[in-house]
Amino acid sequence: MTPRAATILFAVVLGATIVLRVWFVLALPFGQTVAGRLEGLNDEPAHFYYVRYLVEHRALPVQTRHVAEPGAFERADFEYYQPPLYYLLCAPLVAFAGEETGLMLCRALSLLCALGSLVVLSRVLALLGLGVPARRAGVAFLAVLPVHAYFTSVVSNDSLCWLIALLITHELLGRARAGPPMAKGGGKGITADARLGVLLGLGMLTKSALAVFYPVALLVCAVIERREGRRRALAAALIAIGLSLLLAGPWYARNVTLYGSPFALEVGFGPPEPGRWTLIAQAHAVAGTIRSFWFPMQHLDHTPAVTALRALGAILVAFHATAVLRFLARRMPFDAPTITAVALLAVVIGGHVGLNLAWGESEGRFLLPALGPLVFLLVAPVFEFLARRRSGERLAWIYLLLLAAHPYLFLALV
């Protein structure tokens, strides 16, 4: 494509997806009800009631019942164990505008986080070595992808979590690419360390899932120290982690006092489920992850068309997993940014497997703290494969847009 045509296509896709997301904000029903073929998020009331509790009591709530108890979704009191940052941002909106308008404003905050994520994703992909056409295609892919559009159009801490995850990813990749103690143009020394520490702390005050970044941050510093032969990298990691613990530590100390554990997962999910190590249970977990990654709504009948579309999603995942392995094999030995991206994805997948083994939670959105590596490893092999072909850029764009958009076909089958 000519640069002008590529710019126009990118602008059209982004404009259309922003309109789609605004429509989701306005049209998605509240809670697990269906309206206009759209199903609301079953735990959005629990997230919103967290905000309402802050407004009414001006204090942090204490969770006494978990989601697996009878009547949990009717009471909607099972998200109080979550870190408070997103809800604290929403509380003034509800206090000022009232609950009905405040709900829309909280959803709008989620949308703003999503739009910010698209901007940061482009910068992450640049640090991973993608050119402008591939970066734009990656941003367009995420903008269209239903699971991202859906969860960032409702009241949920996922939207802010994914934005902060991308900001931390950008910070770590900048360090890995440029060496200690700075990302090129990103500040030096204690300033950069403090920035990383603040991001880690804010992430942990948004969702405890972002604890995955601690081992990755240590790995990045170890890689830099080995490459540069200086101890400054380890000191930088300790400064950043220490600052993050100063910011988020009081919340997790509160969890230990109230619930007996820092992450309070048993308070949120209930007692761990036995018997999750069987092959059948793990096969169901993989299938559930794939199914919910492509399409997060649940109001689908088991018709042949739905089954066929879900089978297509599984085939696409298998195809791209194979392409990723071939792509990574050709890039060995990895450079520092690739090591960072692969390590982050591996730690997130490991955490997802652990969550499923303990509680049977296999939602695809739990992989999205690794949004940067996920999009990179989807987009880069496609562009590499098609680069040598005539109209390869156009074909890559068409394929990636169809890949992201194909789950919307489920809405026609409701």
Longest dimension (CA), the chain: 63
Domain definitions of the chain by residue range: 12-413
Specify the pLDDT at position 236. Answer: 83
Specify the pLDDT at position 229. Answer: 67
Specify the pLDDT at position 186. Answer: 40
Among candidate residues 127, 214, 209, the one with its CA nearest the CA of residue 222? 214
Task: Note whether 175 and 167 are within 8 A (CB).
Answer: no
Q: In percent, how much of the chain has pLDDT > 90?
A: 79
Specify the pLDDT at position 231. Answer: 66
CA distance 78 to 238: 34
Specify the pLDDT at position 180. Answer: 42
Q: Which residues of the chain have pLDDT under 50?
A: 179-187
Based on its alpha-carbon atoms, the radius of gyration of the chain, rounded to whole angstroms, reads 21
The mean pLDDT value of the chain amounts to 92
Q: Which residues contact 295 (CB under 8 A, 6 or more apart)?
A: 146, 147, 313, 407, 410
CA distance 207 to 110: 14
Cα torsion angle, 273, 279, 284, 290, sign:
positive
Specify the pLDDT at position 187. Answer: 44
Question: How far is the CA of 166 from the CAs of 123, 205, 226, 323, 341, in angstroms?
Answer: 9, 15, 25, 24, 11
CA distance 90 to 54: 9
Q: Which residues contact 315 (CB under 8 A, 6 or more apart)?
A: none
Specify the pLDDT at position 390. Answer: 81
Among candidate residues 221, 252, 223, 251, the one with its CA nearest the CA of residue 238? 221
Structure tokens at 51: 């905000």
Strand 34-35 to strand 38-39: parallel, antiparallel, or no bridges (unpaired)? antiparallel
Q: Is 380 exposed, middle or buried (0-12, 13-18, 19+ CB in 10 A)?
A: buried
DSSP state of 40: -
- pLDDT tens digit string along 269-294? 988 888 778 888 889 899 999 999 99
The b/e string for 101-128 (b: 16+ C-beta within 10 A; e otherwise) is ebbebbbebbbebbbbbbebbbbbbbbb
Specify the pLDDT at position 222. Answer: 87
Specify the pLDDT at position 189. Answer: 66
Specify the pLDDT at position 167. Answer: 98
Residue 342: how many CB atoms within 10 A of its CB? 18
Structure tokens at 257: 């006092």
DSSP state of 385: H
Is this model's pTM higher than 0.75 or not?
Answer: yes
DSSP state of 413: G
Among candidate residues 414, 404, 335, the one with its CA nearest the CA of residue 374? 404
Task: Note whether 399 and 382 are within 8 A (CB).
Answer: yes
